[in-house]
Chains A and B, each alone.
Chain A
Amino acid sequence: QLQLQESGPGLVKPSETLSLICTVSGGSISSSSYFWGWIRQPPGKGLEWIGSIYSSGTTYYKPSLKSRVTISVDMSKKQISLKLSSVTAADTAVYYCARLVDKRLDYWGQGNLVTVSS
């Protein structure tokens, strides 16, 4: 059974960089059939797409976040990373990683709450 697990700091200071890692187990990360994505959810609110990455390393970012987001993949460690720079309180959210199959999200991690506060 495929499992995704996000990890990283729960608290980040304003203007700093948020860094999260998603570790994949129980399945392949390198298959050409899959993309890997990051989605976030502010407390009590809806879902927001951040971006995605293909096994080749090709990335796609939400335009409004593009200048601050970097998604990368480490095949050897079976990890997908997310970096979001210059964070503000508006970036406080639960951050999810997920697998995309034909653009739908079929497996999700449990999420990692990141609070931006000094």
Chain B
Amino acid sequence: EIVMTQSPASLSVSPGERATLSCRVSQSISSNLAWYQQKPGQAPRLLIYGASIRATGIPARFSGSGSGTEFTLTISSLQSEDVAVYYCHQYNNWHTFGQGTKVEIK
């Protein structure tokens, strides 16, 4: 099974500052990676797919990059509504999720 490792486990960022989240994969998955945002008590929401393509309706401050085994989700200017847990998901070989990164406001 492909193992996904997200770092850091939690991140505290001041409003308007940049947040950078990492997802490392145990074997190459090309660009078959998605990112989801999950707010407390809610279902996950698709943010990014194909490693760098924003889903419909997702603000431009969210961007994804990477390929192979190293991926990054960047929130360019953190807003209060971005407080959530963020998960990466590989769909190249079956489906596995990272353990999540919790983003908080400093």
Measuring CB to CB, which residues of chain A are less than 8 angstroms from any residue of chain B?
37, 46-49, 52, 60, 62, 96, 102-106, 108-111
Contacts and interface: CB of A to CB of B under 8 A. Distances in A.
Contacts, number: 46
B45 A108 contact: yes
Contact of A96 (B32, B43, B49, B91): B43
Interface residues of B, number: 21
A46 B96 contact: no
Nearest to A52: B95
A47 B44 contact: yes
Interface of B: 32, 34, 36, 42-46, 49-50, 55, 87, 89, 91, 94-100
A103 B95 contact: yes
- Interface on chain B toward A: helix, strand, loop, or mixed SS? loop
A116 B97 CA distance: 24
